[in-house]
Structure 1
Amino acid sequence: MTSATSPAAARPVDGDPATSTIDVPEGPAASLTPGDLMSPRQRLRLVLVLGSLIAVGPLTIDMYLPALPSIVADFHTTSAAVQLTLTGTLAGLALGQLLIGPLSDAIGRRTPLIAGVALHVVASLLCAVAPNIAVLGALRVVQGLGVAAASVVATAVVRDLFSGAAFARLLSRLLLVMGAAPILAPTLGGALLRWTDWRGVFVALAVLGALLIVVAALGLRETLPPQRRRSGGVVATLVVYGTLLRDRTFVGLVLVAGLAMAALFAYVAGSSFVLQDQYGLDEQQFGLAFGAGAVGLIAATQFNVRLLRRHSPQRILVAALGVGTGAGLVLLAFAATGLGGLPGLLVSLWVVLAAAGLAMPNAPALALSRHGEAAGTASALLGAVQFGVGALAAPLVGVLGTGAVAMAVVVAGGMVAAMAVLLVVVRPSRLADLAPTAVVVAAH
């Protein structure tokens, strides 16, 4: 097991700790992490650059949600078949992270990042001319493969520079930037649909990807120096994955993060049909309702930063899953009985999203604090499980139906399962050794 502070600290070169290649310092500075050497302005720049890169994932997932009913009509297919295009994106994200994470540990962060976003641009353009639902689904898998690079590399860069509770704090800041994506995506998609069809949404995603390639090329330098890179090819990669999978606490925390993500993606997969077909909202109203939920998610991630000044990530995670489990069960009751109507359904959903916003920065931070020596591979496994479980949750909503009850069953099930894994597999008594306490956080 690697402690949260085990990675050697780094000294920046070229005067920019946020974006320069990192070297190992000597003397008293060896007790510092690279993030300790960064000024507030440099941290802000890092958040903006990495946040914009991470945001392309939620945009790719969410921006076409208002158009799902239109795609059903255009291809003369079923809602379940169209939901599989969402599953394809999540599956591509999961597989792509498993491949790109170890690659970034071996050759550095920048090259896989830029190549992956370029693949996303090409796939987006091809989605815009897809002739049928099968081709669209396959291309959405390729889209997910490409966008996985942005997600896993950005997380690994943060782990290169920070650890423990400081990692959780910066991840919360990143989620603030990234959180604009789920707020804007359905709204932007709905606005685009006023003057174009669903194909225009994919053209917009291609343009965004091209802009992000420029951002990555100009705004992010290498954070993994050659002396810290891993070599050994496929065999070494499998050995590292084996080491990670034998760590019960790491696996449990990864599953907790994945099940919380499953609850979120069940909402993503089912909300457009529930809110538009069952409750009669139009595309623009749906975008506003969906964005309101994202506001709650973002508010929770930023409240997490304040909480970390007084409480440990472990304590916040346990409390968040407790609240999320309770809210999920209330949501299921409202959906099954019709009590509360649309307001009751939305409020309980928003509480679940807020709980997920507290859980999602802390579970990964605690998990990755154990394996800083293989941040890219560990981040890849974490992301693969998150999006892989999400990929299972999306079609499960479609199989159960397109109504509120089906969505609520999967949302509540994800939160209940996350709490069960935390209690049975991770065990709260083991969490105390994983990360610095709030006193350490407050000192930064």
Structure 2
Amino acid sequence: MTDTHTMASAGGETKSRSMLTWILGALSIFAPFSTDMYLSGFNLMASDFDTSMSQVQLSLSTFFVGMAIGQLLYGPLIDRYGRRVPLLGGVALFIVTSLAILYVLNIEGLIGLRFFQAIGGCSGMVISRAIIQDLFDEQEAAKALSLMMVVQTVGPITAPVIGAYLLVFGGWKAVFTFLVAFGVICWLITAKWVPESLPVERRQKQNIGEMMTVFKRFLCDWRFMSPTLAGSFSNSVMFCFITGSPFVLMQLFGMGRETYGWMFSGTAAGMVITSQANRMLLKRFTPKLLFTASIIISLVASVALVLVRNTDQLWLFMIPLFVCVSMVPMVCANSIAIAMSVSGRDAGSASSLVGVCQFAFAGAISAIVGALHNGTSLPMCGMILVCTVLAFVVNYLGHKAPAK
């Protein structure tokens, strides 16, 4: 009887953790929904605001900057005050700013609101990683993060398609109306189902200023910084694709708006495959081994992408591009698990640093892709190669560094 009860309890706990992981994954897709859904509507927004495409693109870069700064702020807050209240507050900020965007009168107002929308939206990403670190060890955390990546890829898969049809039937404001509704649903689910995972006795007692010194400790710890930097460079591949693909695929290869949305979704479907594969492979291999292997695969694919970039055959161009983008979840899930495993009681601050690196690099590299625009696919393809080379070098140096 006792054994049966124990097994039932264990099964219930596993089911509960699985459901929580799915919810945390949903809370982490504010970013792809807020970026990918309106990409093909840049020209409509430029027309409505009587401005240039480059000004509209600035709303994308500003969003990435807000994501980076927001994650820096949440780390100390959630280590001192717990996970639940800052999470609910962040989602509420996302809802309010998304609603305000519907009434903005000029492009400057849109850019400013996008900054604060990102600060609210990034709460789910930071706090979800911290909750997983509260509840799982490194191996199980890598599996949970892989499952989260599956949920997160719902954003890149569905956002371009949903966005394309919303733009056709309701214009760009329909996209932000959708974001308001999605935010409200996520807030209600969080309020009901996401528990507080950091007990009061485990919370940091220092003031916020003192807690900021924790960042210095992580920045000086190569065990943390090596996987964080390598993962951030690899994650930037996705943002090279997001920034460069509308021009490359719609202008150079002549895709229509709806076709582009479906293609984007097909590429994102590859991310689901690698996320699921990573979960299965973790039953036999360590996160460190899979991390290194996935970086090497990405590097080979990025070299191939540069070599075939001048082809007029779309399928030949898409194969290495598909591999490069698809490997991002495998690299990132394992890099985050490795980095967070050394965080100890400062999981919130560690999670925020991971996020800061990811989105600071994403914002900078997406801006570089835009600045290098020369009417060819080289800026996008070349920066993808640069990102994967840097990821490979940093990971190699991490293996060479002496362990503490």
TM interval, short-chain normalised: over 0.9
Give how far 1:358 is off: 1.4
CA distance in 2: counterparts of 1:340 and 1:317, whole angstroms: 33
2:255 match: secondary structure: coil
Find the counterpart in structure 2 of residue 236 from structure 1.
210
Find the counterpart in structure 1 of residue 288 from structure 2.
314
Find the counterpart in structure 1 of residue 112 from structure 2.
138
Percent of residue pairs bearing the same amino acid type = 31
Find the counterpart in structure 1 of residue 384 from structure 2.
411
1:399 is the counterpart of 2:371: yes
Deviations 1:350-384 (A, max 9, x none): 10012222111001100110113111110000011
1:62 is the counterpart of 2:20: no
Question: What is the TM-score normalised by the length of structure 1?
Answer: 0.85
Preserved CA contact (<8 Å) 2:59 2:111: yes
2:127 maps to a residue whose letter is V
Preserved CA contact (<8 Å) 2:295 2:331: yes
Give how far 1:38 is off: 6.0
2:29 match: secondary structure: helix
Preserved CA contact (<8 Å) 1:152 1:383: yes
2:112 match: secondary structure: helix
Preserved CA contact (<8 Å) 1:50 1:174: yes
Deviates more, 1:53-62 or 1:357-366: 53-62
1:372 match: secondary structure: coil
Instruction: Write the mapping of 1:364-379 to structure 2, written as runs, cut at 5 A.
Output: 364-379=336-351
Preserved CA contact (<8 Å) 1:117 1:146: yes
Give how far 1:198 is off: 0.8
Give how far 1:188 is off: 0.5
Give how far 1:258 is off: 1.0
| Residues 406 and 196 of structure 1: CA distance in aligned 2, closer, same or farther (over 3 Å) | same
2:200 maps to a residue whose letter is P
Question: What is the TM-score normalised by the length of structure 2?
Answer: 0.94
Q: What RMSD, in angstroms, separates the aligned Cα atoms of the two structures?
A: 1.9
Find the counterpart in structure 1 of residue 160 from structure 2.
186
CA distance in 2: counterparts of 1:78 and 1:256, whole angstroms: 35
CA distance in 2: counterparts of 1:290 and 1:90, whole angstroms: 20
Find the counterpart in structure 2 of residue 99 from structure 1.
73
Instruction: Write the mapping of 1:217-296 to structure 2, written as runs, cut at 5 A.
Output: 217-296=191-270
CA distance in 2: counterparts of 1:125 and 1:243, whole angstroms: 39
CA distance in 2: counterparts of 1:118 and 1:183, whole angstroms: 25
| Residues 278 and 340 of structure 1: CA distance in aligned 2, closer, same or farther (over 3 Å) | closer
Find the counterpart in structure 2 of residue 362 from structure 1.
334
1:165 is the counterpart of 2:128: no
Which runs of 5 or more structure 2 residues have no equivalent in the other structure? 1-7
Which runs of 5 or more structure 1 residues have no equivalent in the other structure? 1-15, 18-35, 434-444
The number of aligned residues is: 396
CA distance in 1: counterparts of 2:194 and 2:402, whole angstroms: 36
Preserved CA contact (<8 Å) 1:334 1:340: no
CA distance in 2: counterparts of 1:276 and 1:78, whole angstroms: 18
1:56 maps to a residue whose letter is F
2:331 maps to a residue whose letter is A
| Residues 38 and 240 of structure 1: CA distance in aligned 2, closer, same or farther (over 3 Å) | farther
2:214 maps to a residue whose letter is V
1:418 maps to a residue whose letter is A
CA distance in 2: counterparts of 1:115 and 1:44, whole angstroms: 24
| Residues 90 and 108 of structure 1: CA distance in aligned 2, closer, same or farther (over 3 Å) | same
CA distance in 1: counterparts of 2:324 and 2:116, whole angstroms: 30
Give how far 1:161 is off: 0.2
1:116 maps to a residue whose letter is G
CA distance in 2: counterparts of 1:85 and 1:341, whole angstroms: 32
CA distance in 1: counterparts of 2:32 and 2:161, whole angstroms: 13
CA distance in 1: counterparts of 2:400 and 2:50, whole angstroms: 50
